[in-house]
Structures are given as C-alpha cells and as structure tokens.
Structure 1
C-alpha cells in the first residue's frame, strides 16, 4: 500500500505540473515509470498488469486518432477552414464560424487533434485578414472542449468513460448536447463582450487571398462516408471499438495517400499515458489503498461529485481524474453518474489555460507563430464560462433527475 501510494503521488504530481520538477520527465514518462515500478516492486504481476489495461479503450482511442488524422491528411480541416472563413465579411462572423467549426469537429473527432490541425488554419486566416489572432485562438480552445463534451468520442476521457461505462451513445448525445450548445453560445457572448474593439472592425477578405489545395473527391467521399458510418453505428449501439477500428482499417486501404501521413497525426504519448495509468491505478486498487482513500466518501451526493470532478480534473488533469473518480460511482443510477463525470470533467478543462491538453496545444502552436496567449487572457474568459456552465449543468441534472 505504501509503494502504491508513493507511485501514485509521484505520477499525479508530474501530471499536475506537466513535467518533473527535478528530472526531464513528462506525463508520458511518468506513466511509463509508474507502471514499470508497479510491476517491478511486486504490487502487480506482469499478467495482472496486462489485465489492468482496458484494451477496448486503447483500440477505440487509437482508431479515432487514425480517422481524425486521415481527415487532416487529405486536407479536410485546411480546406473547410479556408473555404468558409474567406467568404465572411465581419470579425464577429468569423468568430461564430470558428466556434461552430471547432465545436462540431471536436464532437465528431478527438478535440486534441482538431486543435492540432485547426489552430494553424485560424492563425493563417486571421493574419491575412489583419486581425488579432488571440480571441479566435481562445475560441478554438474553448469551443473544442465544449463541443467534445457532446459525444463519447469527442475527447480522450470521454472515450475512456464510454468504454468503461457502456453508456448508450445516443442517450448520452441527447443528454449532453443542450449543455454543449449553451456553452458554445456563451463562448461567443463572452468573447464578443471582452474583445469588443477587436471584433468591431470592417473585414474584407479578397477571394484570392487564401489558396488551398483541392481535396481529391474520392478520398473526401470515402472519409465522410466512413465517418458517418462509424457514428451511425455508435448511435445504433454497435461495439464502438470494433466499429472504429473497422472504419480506420477501411481508410488505410488506399493507393493515393501515404500511410505515414496518417500515422504522423497519432498522439502516441497519449496512448502510452492511458496504458501506464491503467497499470498504476490497477496497482492502487489491488493494494487496498483506493478503498481506504474512498472509504470516507462513499456517501457523496451527485452535486458534490460534480464539484469534485471539476476540481480534481484541474489538479491532476481529466484522464487521471476519471480513472480515480470511477470508483466512487454507485451501482444504482450509474449511467447518470458516468454522464456527469463525462460532461463535467470536460467542461473543467476550460477553467484555466492548463486545464486541458487541447488548451496547451493551441497555446504552444500560437507561441511557435509568435502569438503569446497569457494566462490571464485565457482566465478572464475561461473561468466565468466554466463556472456558469457548471452551475447550468447542475441545475440541468437537478431538473432531469431530481438529484
């Protein structure tokens, strides 16, 4: 139990800080080291460590990454961004489109990957239009998190939750969609209010100002049909891991697209983090430490659980938070609790600039392009939006389920 407590503490500290304060160890390294020591110290045997990993989650996450990366490799993100944005005539109209596109794409694909590929498009368009990129980049980060909360495939933690909970994809979509739509609308209102001056300019984008390489029609049709087929299969309750892997396999069967272009978009660090955390948390569970830690919190009410989800997600990141909080979910009404943790752990990512990987991706890509989004720039927008959405969400759950 002492060994498990030590390993878990070290891993969570690194996840909280983003890297080790002493060694050059990042989150993925911490997960690898923690998992290795869990086995090496005898907390788990090698076979027990293998059993602790939920491979359905890994397969689903990997497959959705392949599908998302394929869409980028054929130029879909770049094409959509430029095609729609260059036809706008006002900064506010551009902001609306950025929010809608980031939210919609993140609901269908993984938000981290959407931010990775969509952020450069937004930077290019805003610079050519001689606009400040900051409000639009903050919109990408906020909208990608809020939009991803609408589905069980929108972000890594929701993929994990969907795999562990076996929630109905369509039931969750109907439950979470209203909150996401309210959140996207609220994002526009707050950004338009704070960046009134930047969004009051006259915008004229010449049609020839942005040139984008056309997408081969066959590859585009194949990608869209496959993605729609995967999503419809989710809605009809088919096995998500099997359906997603089949969709990814279909997209890889091609003569026109080099596989390496698709593989380049896979976040292998995230896959390693998932596997490592499964092993570390499995060791904590077997040691009895988890039962001791959660023993005093078995009677937590759903509203308290919501607040705890938001707080813990911001301290240790949402994926580790989900892996720990899942043990607090009661067997009765567990669908409601699982849906709660999916929605609120995602919304929590908008509280601060370090609250989610999606935020950090946007900030780092902006920094590489000479655009600096300060902590306060994000906080004055993300903080109120998150607090309001959490309160709305709590009221929403109270009205629907009476708890």
Structure 2
C-alpha cells in the first residue's frame, strides 16, 4: 500500500511539473512534505544518507560553483568570451551553436557537466543578447552536448562516479570503453542540430556589425581580480580532474574554492549570494526526498527485481534492458538517485554472467543508459535543472516541454546508437 501511495505522489508531482501550472519548487516541497507526513520516507535518514535522501554532494557542489561563477561574473570575463565567440562565428547562428557545443562537450568529460554548464551558460546568454537572438536553443543544445560529452569519463557525469566506485572501474576504463561511442554520438548530434533548431537560427546583420566592431578586451572591468579568480578557478578544475588521485569529493573542492574566491576577490558576500540560484537548490532537495520515498517503499527495487527475473540468462537482452530501461527511468527519476538505487540490482545481474567481458558489457550498458537519459526531460539531470534556472533568471525562460521535445528525441537516438555499439563490441 505504501509503495502505491509513494508512486502516486511522485506521478502527480511530475504531472504538475510537466504542466507548468504551478512553480516546480512549490510542487516538490508539497510532494516531499506529503511523503514525510505519511511516513513514506526514512525521517532519521533523509537528511543524512545520500542513498536514501538528499545528496548533499550535489547540493554543495552546485552552491560552491554558483558562488565561484558569481564572483567571476564581476570581472567582465563572460562579456569578453561572448564577444570573442560572436566575432569568431561572424554572428552565424549555426556556426555559433557548434562552437559553443564543442566547447561544452570538450570540457564536460574533465569537469562535471553541472560545472561546465554553469561556466558556459552565462557566456551564451550574453552573446545571444548581443546578437539579438533567442538564447533558449543554444542553452538546450549545450545541455544536451554536456550530458553526451560527460559520459566519456569517470568524473564527467555523477552517475559514472557511482558506477565506477561500485564496479571497481577506473578513469582509463571509462575512457577506453565509453569515449569512442560518445564521440560518434556527439558528431551525429552536432549534424542533427542543424535540423532540430533550424527555425531558431536568426541572422541580424546590423546587430552582427555592431558586435564585430567591439573590442573584447575592453569588456574586462578588473584585470587584477580576473587574474586572481583564474588562479583559483584553475586550482578547482585541477582538483576536479585529480579526483581519482586525491579522493576529495567535488563538493568539498567547490566549497573550498568558493571560500578562497571570496577571500582573494574581497567581494561583498551579500552581492555574491544574490547570484546563487536558491530556487534550483531547493528544487533538488525536494526531488531527492521524493525519490527517497520511492526507494524506501521498495518501488524502484521492485522494478529492478522484476527486471532480473524477467531477463533470465540472456545477457544481451539484459544489456539491452539496462540500456533502454535506464534511458526511460533515468529521464523521470533524475539519473543520480536512480543510479544509486539501481547499482545493487546491476551488481546482482553481473554476478550471474559467465565472464568478465559480459559483466563489463552490463556495466557499460547501464552507464550509457543512465548518462544519456539525462537528456530525456528538463528534470532528468542536474545540468538541465541548472540551465533552466539560469535561463529563467536572465529572462530566457525554457519551458518543460520546450526542453523535453528535443531531449526525448536526442536520448532515443543516442541510446539506439549506443545499443548498436554494445552489440558490436561485446556480443558479436
């Protein structure tokens, strides 16, 4: 009975989020509160266990990076990069989109995709404002590119960190097995954007001429502050990349970086904190609590157990189910708590495989499905929610269905290509 109630609450809340009639923060707070009042979540664990409640690593990573970006914003760096990108692309919309997607996709495997979006999105908004074009298509394309590119490495997407830890897979394992298919999917996606966003490509010669006449160096308002910020940001990025060696959580790195950034910049703390997307952070906390209700009442475990029993000993069918199943479920449950919940189920499936190659095929299928599922809906991955929040704050609102109609198609295509790759590489 409790499982049915928690599932019903989740479905109703998701329907309200999709309908966009009520603000999503209000929806998740009411839904999370309902689960707490009805005793569907572990009250003594929801604030202390990342597998059964709020994942504070994600929350504090976001908070730290929002503070860092808020300080960097005052240097004029984003205006500089925006003018530079506009001039390099000569104001051509598709060329600009490809440039921004490539930057995002290259950065995502080495930073996490949330950090990448938080650094690239403000630049995108500024350049689109300069050129007088809508920012929404560019932000959506960047998020999709980030979720694709982040799948290539252990640290590029949070689900990979969880899977790597549980399966004993290294940074190089992810690079060797997932990077090739990520490159293929990204190239197909770049070509596809020419068609997907064709109605959004606008070229205003007078705005382009005005931007081409600008000198980007003049956009830097405080060169000395910029140098200090770049040193701190470089240290944060290096610490992210050295996670397999340092074993320091990205959230700790981001918080320490934010503190050091505030110290070296001497910025007004109140001004910087106003740049933080508090609504986005609260939304994530409510969403984690909602998923905790599904975990605690056994909804997700039941789905996983059913899958194990239904697939039997057909390992290619198991890989297919993990790939497509994760693609569907991860799009609705947020892929971080989804992966944390399903990892034990996949571990049990791997234990029943005849050899290591087949077992790894299941892990890679699970990782690809979970990573690519992040493009499925506007709430499927942390980067999506962050981008939507930045868009709303800057006057370029992205609706749930505006994002999702692109995301669903890209997810389906990505997972289909990945399925062919898994079949050819591990089962033929």
TM-score class normalised by the smaller sequence: 0.7 to 0.9
Matches within 5 A, 1:297-336: 297-299=307-309, 300=311, 301-329=318-346, 330-332=349-351, 336=361
Write the deviation string for residues 123-149 of structure 1: whole angstroms up to 9, x where unpaired. 331232244545423322321222232
2:315 is aligned to: none
- What TM-score does the superposition give when structure 2 sets the normalisation length? 0.72
Residue 81 of structure 2 corresponds to: 81
8 A Cα contact 2:51 2:340, kept in partner: no
> Runs of 5+ in structure 2 lacking a partner?
312-317
- In the TM superposition, residue 248 of structure 1 has moved relative to its aligned partner by 3.6
Matched-pair contact (CA < 8 Å) for 1:57–1:160: no
Aligned residues: 392
Residue number in structure 1 paired with 2:144: 142
Would the aligned equivalents of 1:115 and 1:362 in 2 still touch at CA under 8 Å?
yes
Cα distance in 2 for partners of 1:212, 1:368 equals: 23
Equivalent residues in 2 for 1:1-400, closer than 5 Å: 2-15=1-14, 17-18=16-17, 25-31=26-32, 33-35=34-36, 37-38=38-39, 44=42, 46=44, 52-54=49-51, 58=55, 60-62=57-59, 64-75=61-72, 78=78, 81-82=81-82, 84-88=84-88, 89-91=90-92, 92-112=94-114, 114-115=116-117, 118-162=120-164, 167-195=169-197, 198=201, 203-204=208-209, 205-208=211-214, 211-213=219-221, 214=223, 215-234=225-244, 236=245, 238-241=246-249, 245-246=252-253, 248-249=255-256, 251-253=258-260, 254-258=263-267, 261=272, 264=276, 267-269=280-282, 272-273=285-286, 276=289, 279-285=292-298, 292-299=302-309, 300=311, 301-329=318-346, 330-332=349-351, 336-352=361-377, 355-356=380-381, 358-359=383-384, 361-362=386-387, 365-366=390-391, 371=396, 381-400=406-425
Cα distance in 2, alignment partners of residues 150 and 87 from structure 1:
30
Q: Tell me the SS of whatever aligns to 1:220.
A: helix
Equivalent-residue separation in structure 1 for 2:174 and 2:256 (angstroms): 26
Query: SS of the residue aligned with 1:38?
Result: coil
Q: Cα offset for 1:224?
A: 0.6
The unaligned stretches of length 5 or more in structure 1 are none
| C-alpha displacement of 1:186 | 2.3
Distance 1:56 1:169 in 2: 27
Secondary structure, aligned partner of 2:265: coil
1:99 CA displacement: 0.4
CA-CA distance at 1:304 after TM superposition: 1.6
Residues 60-85 of structure 1, C-alpha deviation per residue, up to 9 Å, x if partnerless?
43453355335413427726732641
Q: Deviations over 1:105-136 (max 9, x none)?
A: 44344434544564343233123224454542
Contact 2:72 2:229 in 1 (8 A): no
Distance 1:250 1:364 in 2: 22
TM-score by length of 1: 0.76
SS of aligned partner of 2:35: helix
Q: Per-residue deviation at 1:217?
A: 1.0
**Distance change >3 Å, CA 328–CA 178, structure 1 → 2:** same
Give RMSD over aligned pairs: 4.2
- Per-residue CA distance 1:74-100 (angstroms, 9 max, x = gap): 427726732641431252432222102
| Per-residue deviation, 1:281 | 4.7
1:369 Cα deviation after fit:
5.6
User: Given that residues 16 and 27 in structure 2 are in contact (C-alpha distance below 8 angstroms), is that contact kept between their aligned partners in structure 1?
Assistant: no
CA 1:315–1:219 in structure 2 vs 1: closer, same or farther (change >3 Å)?
Answer: closer
Q: Where does residue 314 of structure 2 map in the other structure?
A: none
